[in-house]
Amino acid sequence: MAAPQILWFRQDLRLADQAALAAAAAAGPLIPVYVLDDESAGLRPMGGAARWWLHHSLASLDASLRALGGQLLLLRGKSAEVLARLAAQTGASAVHALRHTEPWWPAIEAMLPNLRLHEGTTLLPPGLLKTKTGGRFRVFTPYWRAHTAWGPPPRPRPAPARIDFAAIPAGDRLENWRLLPTNPDWAQGFDWTPGEAGAAAALEAFLPRLAAYDVRRDFPSEAATSCLSAHLHFGEISAAACWHAAVDAADEAATAWTRQLVWRDFAHETLDQFPHSATAPHRPEFDNMPWTDTDSAAGAALLTAWQQGCTGYPLVDAGMRQLWACGWMHNRVRMVTASFLVKHLLIDWREGERWFWDTLVDADAANNAMGWQWVMGSGVDSAPYYRIFAPIGQSEKFEAAAYIRRWVPELAGLRDHEIHGPFERGYRGYPAPIVDHKWARERALGAYQGLRG
């Protein structure tokens, strides 16, 4: 009899198009395991919203494995130690896993001599594509060209119809991990279906809208985006499966969306080169920004107003309230709210990155950090420093009236041309703008110019 094989699930909670699963199942009977690791050195624990998603995704994966005659083993502790004990206990000869780019994994993986890593987290693994001089890409457009020239990813493989399982030892109960919020249960408004089936359904629902994606994706009042980000983050569906489904459905009209999948690859490429992207600007001169002191009463009040959606700018407030209620925010609005924090309020982008990490169900180390550095202007491929999103102009341009009415109901009675703001203090209980746009813009530009000498 072949020795058991441990299949270590991380952010790849699926059975279809799962290279680690295919390799492990071919080598011997399977022991599928997920390790909840909040203890390993250097590891960044998940935020609250992501833990909610994880609970439901693990339950879904366990149900899929049980339908095939197995189950998901749940263990908690330092990953390397837990997996080493499991291998010794079961006689497993190898641990199989998909390669991940989060900066904490290499040190953990190095402690597992029997680890077999497989690709499948991204369309192409970080470091594969090279510039003409043999270097690594730091600008998206040439990376996109090289990615396109490489060709499409392989066709996704279906989930196995049969799996041989080894004897699976006793593990933890999912409920005992207490991943779900309780007092208060701030996730009551979450309207998501985590898991592999939920990911497939979300993709199927999006495909009829794909042809209009390029034109309507920036309009937050419309359901024009795929809402697949959390499914992709947790690996409930592969990027290759998304790519081929889109191209099969819309051919060249799918390019605007498949380009976003390549942006996701580029985020992982960037994180692989800059492992401290969540805490250190890619351009070190940005560490000299004259940030607002959020330890002061005034600075703390500004940060709280932004977090709670009480800035007096309706589009910003709608986005921040949507984030709290849903664990998600429309991408155009993410850019506007992020720009408002770092440029209007001159608050350190790392405060925003941490807030998004805790409140987004799709909080992703690569994409979250890249997004904040892009808006800040400190990334290797960023928006120009002088691009400061005007909240009112963005709201008008992208017809956000219906979006604002949903998330800022105290303004629901206003007509479309009135609702974008700002409004005087006390207007129907809505706050006055906490900062003047023109003044804040000039202050931010002055701060940026100071960095340039």
pLDDT in tens, 275-293: 999 999 999 989 999 999 9
As a whole number, mean pLDDT of residues 328-344 equals 97
The predicted pLDDT at position 427 comes to 65
As a whole number, mean pLDDT of residues 72-80 equals 98
Task: Name the token pair of 84.
Answer: 């080493």
Cα 190–Cα 194–Cα 199 angle in degrees, nearest 5: 120
Cα 226 to Cα 65, 232, 398, distances in angstroms: 27, 11, 18
Query: Domain 284-451: what homologous superfamily?
Result: DNA Cyclobutane Dipyrimidine Photolyase, subunit A, domain 3 (1.10.579.10)
Q: Other C-beta atoms within 10 Å of 248: how many?
A: 10
DSSP for 37-68 reads: -S-STT-----HHHHHHHHHHHHHHHHHHHHT
Number of Cα atoms under 13 Å in the Cβ half of residue 337 = 31
Task: Mark out the alpha helices in 79-195 (DSSP H runs).
Answer: 79-90, 105-109, 140-150
Label residue 428 left, alpha or beta by phi (over 0 means left) and psi (-120 to 50 means alpha): left
Question: Rounded to an integer, what distance in angstroms lies between the CA atom of residue 243 and that of residue 262?
Answer: 10
Task: Name the token pair of 432.
Answer: 């006055």
pLDDT in tens, 181-239: 998 899 988 999 999 999 999 999 999 999 999 999 999 999 999 999 999 999 999 99
As a whole number, mean pLDDT of residues 58-62 equals 98
Helix (H) or strand (E) holding 255: helix 255-273
φ, ψ at 116 (rounded to 5°): -120, 115
- The boundaries of every CATH 1.25.40.80 domain in the chain are 122-154+197-273
Torsion of CA 173, 177, 180, 183, to 10 degrees: 120
CB proximity list for 68: less than 8 A, separation 6 or greater? 160, 162, 163, 165
CATH architecture of the domain with range 122-154+197-273: Alpha Horseshoe (1.25)
Question: Rounded to an integer, what distance in angstroms lies between the CA atom of residue 355 and that of residue 332?
Answer: 18
Output the pTM of the full model: 0.96
Number of Cα atoms under 13 Å in the Cβ half of residue 49 = 24
**Could you tell me if 243 and 261 are in contact, meaning their C-beta atoms sit under 8 angstroms apart?**
yes
- The boundaries of every CATH 3.40.50.620 domain in the chain are 5-121
- The boundaries of every CATH 1.10.579.10 domain in the chain are 284-451
Question: Rounded to an integer, what distance in angstroms lies between the CA atom of residue 430 and that of residue 437?
Answer: 17
Q: Where are the beta strands (DSSP E) in 99-221?
A: 115-118
As a whole number, mean pLDDT of residues 254-262 equals 97
The predicted pLDDT at position 384 comes to 72
As a whole number, mean pLDDT of residues 302-307 equals 98
pLDDT in tens, 353-386: 999 999 999 999 999 999 999 999 998 877 677 7
CB proximity list for 202: less than 8 A, separation 6 or greater? 193, 226, 227, 228, 231
**Could you tell me if 254 and 246 are in contact, meaning their C-beta atoms sit under 8 angstroms apart?**
yes
Q: 């530009």: which residue's tokens?
A: 445
CA-wise closest residue to 129 among 270, 33, 18 = 270
CB proximity list for 442: less than 8 A, separation 6 or greater? none
Task: Give the whole-number percent of the chain exceeding pLDDT 90.
Answer: 91
Number of Cα atoms under 13 Å in the Cβ half of residue 345 = 31
DSSP for 395-448 reads: HHHTT-HHHHHHH-GGGTTS-TTTTT----TTGGGPPPPSS-HHHHHHHHHHHH
Question: Rounded to an integer, what distance in angstroms lies between the CA atom of residue 159 and that of residue 161?
Answer: 6
Q: Is the pLDDT of residue 318 over 80?
A: yes
Question: Rounded to an integer, what distance in angstroms lies between the CA atom of residue 265 and that of residue 282?
Answer: 18
Task: Name the token pair of 199.
Answer: 């990911």
CATH architecture of the domain with range 5-121: 3-Layer(aba) Sandwich (3.40)
Q: Is the pLDDT of residue 426 over 90?
A: no
Question: Rounded to an integer, what distance in angstroms lies between the CA atom of residue 225 and that of residue 207?
Answer: 10
